[in-house]
Structure 1
């Protein structure tokens, strides 16, 4: 990777964060630039590759020792997003509750343990974070998170309720509807908690959930075998659909929707999906369209793990790890505000990915390096390369290790 001679322009909003001192703003711009553009997104890698960084020790102290409130930084991040029409949230948007597991090798990291990773389809050693994410038809970004620790008393349902309290009581997210996967829909107390704030919810059911039908309690997948579904066209896709108001175990009376996507490809599996919602009178088309807004959170997890250092933090201090994830959310959001941001992508496609913004950031890194070279016109190219190498090798404050990190 090329040495990064200046902060990315997308980090400029950090200069307005009142919760950070000017020195802390410098470190925050260092870290977020590193998460976006550095090839090595650890503390050492960021300090080495970002030339304005003030050394590894300074970056590490910012992450683990300096006095700043990451929750306040997170609220300022969300406030910044509301200043721009393309990222401003609305009542018609959605809050998605989901969790993600990131693989780890260390045994002393906060919250580390054995967790089932749905993306991998197996149990892995890692960290598990519960997230709230916002999405609508023009933008998508993370809202808040909690680290799940199997040794603590709080369940993932408890953490989700904590997040809901923050979003509703402190942040004031106006979105009317929460979307969840089957894990969160399984907890009736969580759905009731959402309703206590006057909000709606939509979530899938596991196939073994019990439904009252014909005077008896049967599994929802057994019900699917007894009913006749009707074909409907929704957004150029064909579905076989059945829906009624029904009593579901743990959920009382809800809108039950059974849907199967129709495809002409013989080798493409389209399993029947079971959905529930407290939107009793909502049309099936609305429920299917609503649930499609869960897709951006999956793209966020993929982009964050592949390109923004989601799992690169090896800080053993829980506060430092929390700050890493908060800064990672900040980096993601700053990219959303970048000049190449495309907010018109549909909620069901990879248009919600940040790949375009990442490509722009790489171009900016190269441009900044060329500008740095241009500002030294009296030096021969070989001399400039030696100076770049010297700056790059010693930007972490070390006193003699050598190597070329391109």
Structure 2
């Protein structure tokens, strides 16, 4: 019987992700298991729990915002659990992909902190056993999981895909301050008149909006009513090729709680979740899972986040390190853990 701790296989996978050598045979070299046993462990065990989610949440810098998004990776392999592969005529590659609901702490000037990648069944992968959920349903389900894990948050930022009446109603009901990009065809009531965003833009041209030198943006907060609730539209003009172009945010923040400049900083901070997506795909092999089981994809995503946090720990000790250097050092440390069975926190 192996004397390795139960987490040894997970540590081996994390080491492989950090080292960019995460094939089953390479991971097996760091364990007493054969490649087929390593593959079976990834498909059959559950490596993640809400306890880990709560631990990661403690890393949030003061004043961080909770950001939500989707990230998409291509499907590798010739089949997927519950679905025969679908080929496009004339193409040798599949047209299938995997979506993950993504959640993170973000704050400008700080490393973003991933909290979860939840496998979200796309329309093309859905079956009766694995139904597809809308963006709003996926977001609300993940926020419910966060709340049930005892993680307290107040401020939430998200892109236009998630700025729906369903999400806004949920945030208002639970006292969550929400800031999200809003689609151009949205209607609302302004001073008793039903308007769309283009109409509102004409009433508040760039010259009538506050200029923020730091971002080179002009912006204006406008109180409106949507779905029977009082919210704000934030008109933002940014200069593109010498012309002021508008985009729009919707906010449920109390005007007395946050200034316009703070709202703009919150929106700029949202970019941190995009940084996470780029780092995990380019540096931590997210999207390279070639297993057919949904459980394996869930575990892989969890281990990628563990690897990301391992790099964050190194950067916390030495903030001057580049991401690549910090990842290399984290890989060396984890290799020592798995080869000696002396894991962090063990006797």
* Deviations, residues 42-64 of structure 1 (Å, cap 9, x unaligned): 334433xx545633123213212
Normalised TM-score (structure 1): 0.68
1:389 corresponds in structure 2 to none
Q: Tell me the residue number matched to 1:274.
A: 248
Larger Rg: 1
Alpha-carbon distance, 1:37 to partner: 0.5
- For residue 173 of structure 1, give the secondary structure of its aligned residue in structure 2: coil
2:9 touches 2:31 (CA, 8 Å); kept in 1?
no
CA 1:26–1:156 in structure 2 vs 1: closer, same or farther (change >3 Å)?
same
2:12 aligned with 1:30, yes or no? Answer: yes
Match of residue 66 from structure 2: 95
Give me the whole-angstrom Cα distance separating, in 2, the residues matched to 1:337 and 1:165: 28
- Residues 266-345 of structure 1: pairs in structure 2 closer than 5 A: 266=242, 271-281=245-255, 282-338=258-314
Correspondence 1:7-406 to 2 at 5 A: 22-39=4-21, 41-47=22-28, 50-52=29-31, 54-66=33-45, 69-72=46-49, 75-76=51-52, 78-79=54-55, 82=58, 87-90=59-62, 92-106=63-77, 108-110=79-81, 125-137=96-108, 138-149=110-121, 150=123, 151=126, 152=131, 154-170=133-149, 172-186=150-164, 188-213=165-190, 215-229=192-206, 230=208, 232-234=210-212, 236-248=214-226, 250=227, 252-262=229-239, 266=242, 271-281=245-255, 282-338=258-314, 354-361=323-330, 364=332
Could you give the per-residue CA deviations for residues 55-79 of structure 1, whole angstroms, max 9, x where no partner exists? 312321321234xx4342x523642
RMSD between aligned residues: 3.2
**Conserved in 2, the CA contact under 8 Å of 1:256 and 1:276?**
yes
Shift of 1:89: 4.9
State how many pairs are aligned.
Answer: 314
| Cα distance in structure 2, aligned partners of 1:251 and 1:343 | 47
Provide the C-alpha distance between the structure 1 equivalents of 2:32 and 2:75, rounded to a whole number of angstroms. 27
Structure 2: runs of 5+ lacking an equivalent:
87-93, 337-347
In structure 1, how many angstroms separate the alpha carbons of the residues matched to 2:5 and 2:137? 36
Q: Deviations over 1:220-272 (max 9, x none)?
A: 02321232334545462322222210124x47421111011247x64xx8731
Per-residue deviation, residues 62-107 of structure 1 (Å, max 9, x unmatched): 21234xx4342x523642673xxxx3454x2211110011112445
Aligned to 1:372: none
For the residue of structure 1 that corresponds to 2:153, the secondary structure is coil
Whether the aligned pair in 2 keeps the contact of 1:148 and 1:155 (CA below 8 Å) is no
Gaps of 5+ in 1: 1-20, 115-122, 345-350, 369-406
- Structure 1's consecutive aligned runs of 4 or more residues displaced over 6 angstroms after TM superposition are 111-114
Name the CA distance, whole Å, in 2 between partners of 1:175 and 1:64.
32
Which secondary structure does the structure 2 equivalent of 1:24 belong to? Answer: coil
Deviates more, 1:334-343 or 1:239-248: 334-343
Contact 1:81 1:333 in 2 (8 A): no
Paired residues of 2:60 and 2:105 also in contact (CA < 8 A): no
Separation in 1 of the partners of 2:184 and 2:173? 27
Query: What do residues 149-202 of structure 1 show as CA deviations (whole Å, max 9, x unaligned)?
Result: 2221532322211111111122x223320111101112x122222233322110
Tell me, yes or no, if the aligned pair for 2:13 and 2:27 is still in contact at 8 Å. yes
